[in-house]
Amino acid sequence: MPDPDKLALFVPAALLLLVVPGPAVLYIVTQSVTRGRRAGLVSMLGVQTGGLVHVAAAAVGLSALLASSAVAFSVVKYAGAAYLVFLGARRILARPHHATVGAPEARSAARLFRQGVVVNVLNPKTALFFLAFLPQFVDRSGGSVTLQLLVLGLLFIALATLSDGSYALLAGTAGQRLRRSQRLLRRERYVSGGVLVGLGLAAAVSGSKGS
């Protein structure tokens, strides 16, 4: 287990990083605003499940391989960026949805969950974040490094669930008011699609940052 003193430093450091919105948070907020709090929360759970993949990878050293290989980094980086652009373009090009005012477009929870998982799994910057951040709080003399990394990673995911879940709830509440606007109903697919395309482009050109 990680040293208690290191845990006392880890929790506030993790919370400080989590309150700064990154690509995953913006993705969750977009889903909440356009489809409601339930969609945002399901998307958030998908994103955190994808985060578990990166935690496991960091614990067994796969993130180190990803960081050392320019080809692997580029492949995953641009695959993730392309997926976000694809989601956004599909949203923009979709036929207008003739729903009643205040009723967001329906989408299955399973589909939203899967998209959240893919969005985070295909974000190599999340892998690099865990690789850079988690080892700072590992005590090499305190037992299994792999176990310590797993504990720290799971704790970070738990904190992220609380933080990102709060973003989803707040954004969903605001979305309920915004969806009463007929103008927003007409422009919603362009706004949400544009956000996703922008996230994909930003992921392709920006420096490494975590969730």
Name residue 171's amino acid.
A
User: Could you read off the pLDDT of 142-170 as tens digits, one per residue?
Assistant: 778 788 889 999 999 999 999 999 999 99
- What pLDDT, in 10s, does the model give residues 29-58? 889 988 889 999 999 999 999 999 999 988
Q: Among 12-16, 114-118, 155-159, 172-176, whose mean pLDDT is lowest?
A: 172-176
Residue 43: name the closest of 108, 89, 107, 112 by CA: 112
Q: Domain ranges in the chain?
A: 26-95+105-205
Name the token pair of 85: 């652009």
Selection from 133, 103, 122 nearest residue 35 by Cα:
103
